[in-house]
Amino acid sequence: MGASSGSYSYFEHKADMGIAGTGPTLEEAFSQAARAMFGIMVEVDQVRPQKQVSVECQANDVAELFVEWLNALLAEADIHRMALARFRVDSLSDYHLVGCAWGEPLDTQRHHPKIEVKAATYAMLFVGPEKGQYVARCVVDL
Amino acid sequence: MELRKLKRQKEYQWIIPQTGDMIVPGQIFASQQLIEEMDEKVYEQVTNVACLPGLQRFSIAMPDAHWGYGFPIGGVAAFDPQEGGVVSVGGVGFDVNCGVRTLKTGMVWEDIKPHLRSIIDTLFSIVPAGVGSRGEISLSSSQIQEVLTKGAQWVVSRGYGTHEDLDFTEDRGMVSGADPSAVSEVALRRERRQVGTLGSGNHYLEIQRVDEIYNPEVAQKFGLAVDDVVVTIHCGSRALGHQVGTDYLKSLAAASRKYGIPIRERELVCAPINSPEGRQYFSAVNCAINYAFANRQVITHLVRLGFEKVLPKVEIHMLYDIGHNTCKVERHQIDGQSKEVYVHRKGATRAFGASRENIPSAYRGVGQPVIVGGTMGTASYILVGTEYGEQVAFASVCHGAGRRMSRKKAKKTWRGDRLVRELEAKGIYVRGHSFAGLAEEAPGAYKDVSEVIEAIHNAGLASKVARLQPMGCIKG
C-alpha cells in the first residue's frame, strides 16, 4: 500500500457525479479513482484497512477495463457488506486487470454512509495520459 | 438548448428535424422556457438515439429531460424487432424498474396530523434504507428464482400484501419473459436480503396530503379527495438491478461491435432484439423489473405494519404502482397499423389512456394513474393518461422534476441538518439516514415540478388530477 503518489477529484455532472484518479502510472490512476468512488459512499478516512478483497476483470479495451474495475469493487463491497478505502492494481494490460482492495465491515456509526453508487458508467469515460500524468475518469450513477 | 435548431410543431411540441444519419426526427415536449433551460446534451442524445436501427416515428424527450447515459433521462424510444430494432442499457438505466407506488390511507389530514411524527419515526425504524441496508427477508436460491419470475405476485402469495394490491400494480406486478439464467451469479449474490429496502439517493417514502383536485370526476374514480392522506414509495430493483445494468453494459458493448450497430457514443451500447445477446438482456431486465415490483410490495407490507402500530384502524389500499426505468413490449398504432414494439422509457412513465385493456378494470374508461414525484419540499402530482399521449408519445410522460443543480453544488449550497429544520418550520417532518445525502436532495436542487407538469398537461400527454404536498418524508 505504501505512500500514495496520486490524487483523486470529482467533477460536475447534472444528475450524478464524475470521479477522476490521477497518478504517475495508470495503475495508480485506477486506484485513486476507486478511492474517489468509495468516497461518495462513506468517509474513506474512517475506514480501516483490515480485510482484503481481490478482483480480476477483463474487457475489450483499457477504458472498459477501468469501468469493469470500479464495478467489480462495488460488487465486492456489496456482497461482503464492506466499506473499501485502499486500492492497488497489481497487473494491468489493455484487456486484463488484477487488483485488490482493503477495508472493513460497513459501520454505519463510524463510516458515515452517504449515498449508494449504483454503477460506474461509460459517460465521460477517459483513460490515458494528460498533462504528463495518467488519468482515469468517468461518471458514476447515483 | 438553442431554439433555432428546433421546429415548433405546437406550443408544447418541438421537432428536431431528421438530418444526417437520423432515421426518424426527434421530438421534445416542453414549454419554451423549459426548452431554453434544457441541457444542450439532451439535443445531442435525442439525435443520437434517432440514429439507432428500427426506431419508430420519433426519438422522444419529456419536459424534465436531462443529460443521461446514451439516452437522455426523460427519454422514450420504441423499436420494432422486425426492422432490426435494438434493446439498450442506456434506454432502461441501471436502476431497472425504479418506480413509484402511491397508497391511500383512507384518512384525512386532520386525523393523521397529531400522529405524523410517530408514524414517520415508526416507518423510519422498520423500512430499511441507506447505504448497504438489508431487510428481514432472506431469500433462498429457489426463492430468488420465484421473485425474478413472478415479482410482486410471489411475495403476495407469501403473505406480503393482497390480491387487490396486484390489481393496481402495472402488469399486475409481474412481467413474463423473465428467465433467471440471464441474471449473473454476482447479481444474485448482491441481492442478499435487499428485497423490502428503500436504498438511498433520490429514493424516498413520503406521507402526503392531497391539497388540490384538478379533475373531480377522475379523482373520484381514483378515490382521491382534498385533504386525503396518501403514502408514496419511490425505489427500484436495488443492487440486483444495478448489477444487471453493469453486466449487460459490457455484454452489449461487445454485441454492438459484433453486429456493427452505428452507435454515436459508447453509452448507447445495444443489441438487436432478435439476437441472443438482445434476448438475454431483455430477459434479465424482466427479472429485475419483477424484483423491483416485489421490493415495493414488501415495503407496502412494512408500511401497513407501521401504520398498524400507530393507528390500528387504518386500512391501506393501492392507488397505483408504476415503473419509470423500463423496456416493455407494447402494441401501438404506427402509420395506420398496429405494431408490437419495445418501448424504452428511461426516466419516463407509461401513461395509458382510457381504453387500454392492461390498466386496472376500475380505471377503464378513465385512464391509468400517473405518479410524478417532486422533492421532499415540493408537490408531487397524480395525472391520468390520455389517448392523445398514446398517439404522439407511445403513451409516455415525465417522471419527476429533473435536477437543476449538480450534487456537488447542492452539497456546497445546503447543509442536511439545517435543511431538516427549515422543512420542519414549513410543517414537513424529514428523517434521513445521511445529512450529506439530504443536502444533495435539497428541493432547490431540482427544477420546479409544477412547470414540468403544466407542460405535460398542456401538451396533452396526460391530464392533471390531483396535487400532493409532502408532510413527512423518509430519505435513504
Name the burial class of residue A110, with classes exposed (0-12), middle (13-18) and buried (19+) by CB atoms within 10 angstroms of its CB: middle
Give the count of domains, chain A.
1
Nearest chain A alpha carbon to B191: A79
Backbone angles phi, psi at B170, to 5 degrees: -50, 135
Mean pLDDT of chain A, nearest integer: 94
Q: Looking at the domain assignment, is residue A43 inside a domain?
A: yes
Annotated catalytic, B457? no
Q: How many CB atoms lie within 10 A of CB B43?
A: 21
Residue B427, CB half-sphere, CA atoms under 13 Å: how many? 10
DSSP B279: H
- Would you call B250 and A68 a contact, using CB atoms and an 8 Å cutoff? yes
By a Cβ cutoff of 8 Å, what residues of chain A touch chain B? Answer: 10-17, 41-42, 59-60, 63-64, 67-68, 71, 74-75, 78-79, 81, 106, 108, 112-116, 118-123, 125, 139, 141-142
With residue B475 as reference, give the H or E element that holds it. Answer: strand B462-475
Q: Would you state the pLDDT for residue B125? A: 96
pLDDT-derived band at A74 (thresholds 50, 70, 90) equals: very high
Q: How many CB atoms lie within 10 A of CB A50?
A: 10
Give me the domains of chain B, ranges plus CATH numbers: 3-88+95-404+446-475 (3.90.1860.10)
Report the distance separating Cα B18 and Cα B21, nearest Å: 8
Q: Looking at the domain assignment, is residue A94 inside a domain?
A: yes
Residue A14 has pLDDT above 90, yes or no: no
Residue A1 has pLDDT above 70, yes or no: no
pLDDT-derived band at A5 (thresholds 50, 70, 90) equals: confident
B348 in helix, strand or coil? coil
pLDDT-derived band at A4 (thresholds 50, 70, 90) equals: low
Q: Which residues of chain B have pLDDT under 70?
A: none
The minimum CA-CA distance between A76 and chain B, rounded to whole Å, is 8
* DSSP states along B167-190: HTBGGGG--S---GGGS-HHHHHH
CA B167 to chain centre: 19
The minimum CA-CA distance between A36 and chain B, rounded to whole Å, is 13
Report the distance separating Cα A102 and Cα A117, nearest Å: 18
Angle at B161 between CA B155 and CA B166, to 5 degrees: 80
Task: Report the sign of the C-alpha dihedral through residues A76, A107, B474, B156, in that order.
Answer: positive
| B402-421 residues touching A, CB cutoff 8 A | 403, 406-409
Angle at A60 between CA B254 and CA A142, to 5 degrees: 80
Which three cell numbers mark B276? 441472443
Catalytic residue among B66, B203, B301, B399: B399
Give the mutation candidate from A9, A47, A104, A116 for the B interface (greatest B CB count, under 10 A). Answer: A116
- Would you call B131 and A118 a contact, using CB atoms and an 8 Å cutoff? no
Alpha-carbon separation of residue B53 from B15, B20, B43, B56, B83 (angstroms): 19, 14, 19, 9, 7
Q: What is the extent of the structural domain holding A86?
A: 7-141
Which three cell numbers mark B384? 391520468
pLDDT-derived band at A15 (thresholds 50, 70, 90) equals: confident
Q: Looking at the domain assignment, is residue A2 inside a domain?
A: no
Q: Looking at the domain assignment, is residue A1 inside a domain?
A: no
For range A36-57, the mean pLDDT:
96
Residue A2 has pLDDT above 50, yes or no: no
| B246-265 residues touching A, CB cutoff 8 A | 246, 249-250, 253-254, 257, 265
- Would you call A60 and B253 a contact, using CB atoms and an 8 Å cutoff? yes
Q: What is the CATH number of the domain that holds A114?
A: 3.55.10.10
Give the mutation candidate from A53, A107, A118, A141 for the B interface (greatest B CB count, under 10 A). Answer: A118
Partner residue opposite B266 with nearest CB, options A12, A74, A125: A125
Report pTM: 0.96
- Which amino acid makes up residue B146? E
